[in-house]
A and B are shown apart, each in its own frame.
Chain A
Amino acid sequence: MTLGLINANPVVHAKKERVTRTEDLHNDVFKVFLDIRDPEHPYSLEQLSVLSEESITVDEKLGRILITFTPTIQHCSMATVIGLCLREKMKDYVPPHFKVDIKVAPGSHADEESVNKQLNDKERVAAALENPNLRQLVDECLYSNKSNEPLGTYASDPPPDQSLPKGPVVSSPRIIGGSEFCVESFRIQYEIIPAFDLIKESNVYS
């Protein structure tokens, strides 16, 4: 089994020129997502075409928001992590009575139904976000402010919470295949995935 990235070579798009529109909830929600970075790469979800302006549907009258996102590859087990990041980011920006549904774009994932079910089960989402390892990864995706550097190497990052239980995590970067990202990948595969019952696609790792 290779300790590699789930998608080592994503297609990266240039950031789109933003056309100024009248302020509305749709725009506000989309702006919120612009800087969420991918769990594996130093690019934002927008740059990886995981999310676009079309991903968000807002019904202000009913108080509903539907977000559909496109994982970079069909077997992406990061899909649930990305979904969690979206949920967590929404909490601070959307009025409390709004209902948010998050789904993978139809046809974009091999386990679409299973991923969608987990992402829209608030008890499962709440429990997952209480898991310290998963929480840390989500926080890194949402709050790391230098989007071109590898995760975990920012001077301006908040210091790691020493009270969090440390599992079998490699504490110093281990260079495998010439990339520090592999450390993150290792941690994700062994710590976080079991915490959320993410689908483990064995063929992805072979």
Chain B
Amino acid sequence: MNFAGDFDLKEKQILEGHTDRVWNLAWKPASGVDGIPAVLASCSGDKTVRIWEQSPATGSFQCKAVLDETHTRTVRSCAWSPSGKLLATASFDATTAIWEHVGGDYECVSTLEGHENEVKCVSWNASGSLLATCGRDKSVWIWEVLPGNEFDCVSVLQGHTQDVKMVQWHPSMDILFSCSYDNSIKIWAEDGDNDDWHCVQTLDESNSGHTSSVWALSFNSDGDKMVTCSDDLTLKIWGADIMNMQSGDGNAPWLHLCTLSGYHDRTIFSVHWSRDGIIASGAADDAIRLFVENKDGLVDGPTYQLLLKKDKAHNMDVNSVKWSSMENGRLASASDDGTIKIWELVSLPGHDKLPL
């Protein structure tokens, strides 16, 4: 996709309701297309999760459900299963709850326990057969999804030396990525098919990695690149030879491709790579920034440029930015100010939506 010309991020709506900071967001898969209204889940320091649905008539989002009285502390992260049938929520109360939409209401159908303290993130693999969680106890847990909403822990992965902030499955392969307060990113894969998971690679300072806590990571749509963001004020782009990964022995190393520095002057909490190649970042300076690959002349590999910076996107830190998986150009952001904002990327002049 060629991003020539000027762009702006237009604020479409402010979603209010949470009574404490909003930590994370998740767009429901397969919603916002084919006549199915778009659905967004948000989780907060107020211990609840809210489900927002777009009205087909007015186009605005309304809060359809508040998932409360389950978590007893901050809900830090939420993730929909690939089918959209289940929502997993990770909390500082050391549990992960699984919710199902049953006849108009969301019901907690399972609670995963095991972490010694705060759970910080939860992620489903591409097929929905596995779930991963991570937390301050430095461990990463892998759970198998069984019929009847049963979850079995298949592995507890030790290796990080500090608090693990995020886990994310690769978009097409069962390879797990984690990032941590110990400044490193770890890649975990299964040896054969016998639940023997181990760390196959660590990306840290010794191989051009981050020099402070890594808060988040995101893959491009092809799955051959990922972007990571950190308290060290940089974004880093990593790449792997995907053909090599898919064939036989499975493991191709991830290599540092590019570091984006000088664009952020406070911690970057969130980063998300859209289907059409735009990287969005949310940071502690209340701004949202968008980056795209610089197509003019490859130097020593890809380079990236700032597409736009939205100053004062929120009144306080931006904790999460998520592109809609179904509609190009639609972005949601969550903040310490307790609000969620829906944005539309438009090209200037004129206010036409991006071509699909």
| Residues of chain A having any CB pair with chain B under 8 Å | 96-97, 99, 117, 121-124, 126-127, 130, 197
Our pick among A97, A122, A127 for the contact of B118 (Cβ within 8 Å) is: A127
User: Within residues 43 to 74 of chain B, which ones have a CB less than 8 A from any CB in chain A?
Assistant: 45, 73-74
Tell me whether B136 is interfacial, beta carbon within 8 Å: yes
A127-B74, A130-B74 known; A122+B317 contact, CB < 8 A: yes
In the complex, which residues of chain B have a beta carbon less than 8 angstroms from the beta carbon of A124?
A: 136, 163, 181
Residue of B nearest to A195 (CB): B117
User: Which residues of the other chain, A, contact B181 by a CB distance below 8 angstroms?
Assistant: 117, 121, 124
How many angstroms from the CA of A127 to the CA of B135 in the assembled complex?
A: 11
Contact with A along B296-332 (1 / 0, CB 8 A): 0000000000000000000111000000000000000
Contact of A96 among B117, B212, B213, B316 (CB under 8 A): B316
Other-chain residue from A97, A126, A197 in contact with B316 (beta carbon distance below 8 A): A97
Contacts of B231 in A (CB 8 A): 121
In the complex the two chains form, is B136's CB within 8 Å of A127's CB? Answer: yes
Which A residues touch B315, using CB under 8 A? Answer: 96-97
Closest to B72 in A: A130
Q: Which of A97, A121, A197 contacts B213 (CB 8 A)?
A: A121
Contact residues of B between 207 and 258, Cβ < 8 Å to A = 212-213, 231
- Is A127 a contact partner of B286 (Cβ separation < 8 A)? no
How far is it, in angstroms, between the C-alpha of A111 and the C-alpha of B336 when the chains are bound? Answer: 29
Q: CA separation between A81 and B118, bound complex, in Å?
A: 19
- Shortest distance between the CB of B310 and any CB in chain A (Å): 15
Q: Does B198 contact A (CB under 8 A)?
A: no
B293 to chain A, nearest CB (A): 30
Q: Please measure, in the bound complex, the distance between the C-alpha atom of A130 and the C-alpha atom of B231, giving whole angstroms.
A: 23
Instruction: State the CA gap A124–B92 with chains docked (Å).
Output: 10
Within the complex, what minimum Cβ distance (angstroms) separates B165 from chain A? Answer: 7
A55 to chain B, nearest CB (A): 21
Q: Does B284 contact A (CB under 8 A)?
A: yes
- Given A96-B315, A99-B266, A121-B231, A126:B284 Cβ within 8 A: no
Q: Which residues of B contact A96 (CB under 8 A)?
A: 315-316, 336-337
Of the residues A99, A117, A126, A197, contact of B74 by C-beta under 8 Å: A126
Measured between beta carbons, the chain A residues less than 8 angstroms from B317 are: 122
* Chain A residues within an 8 Å CB radius of B284: 99, 122
Chain B neighbourhood of A99, CB < 8 A: 266, 284-285
Check if B120 is an interface residue, CB within 8 A of chain A: yes
Q: Give min CB distance, B96 to chain A, whole Å.
A: 16
Map CB proximity to A onto B258-276 as digits: 1 under 8 Å, 0 otherwise: 0000000010000000000
Measured between beta carbons, the chain B residues less than 8 angstroms from A126 are 21, 45, 74, 92
Nearest chain A CB to B151's CB is how many angstroms away? 24
Query: Which of A96, A99, A123 has its CB near the most chain B CB atoms (within 10 A)?
Result: A123
Near A by CB (< 8 A), chain B positions 69-103 give 73-74, 76, 92
> Once the chains bind, are A130 and B163 in contact (CB under 8 Å)?
no
Q: What's the nearest-Cβ distance from chain B to residue A81, in Å?
A: 18
Q: Could you say which residues of chain A place their CB within 8 Å of the CB of B213?
A: 117, 121
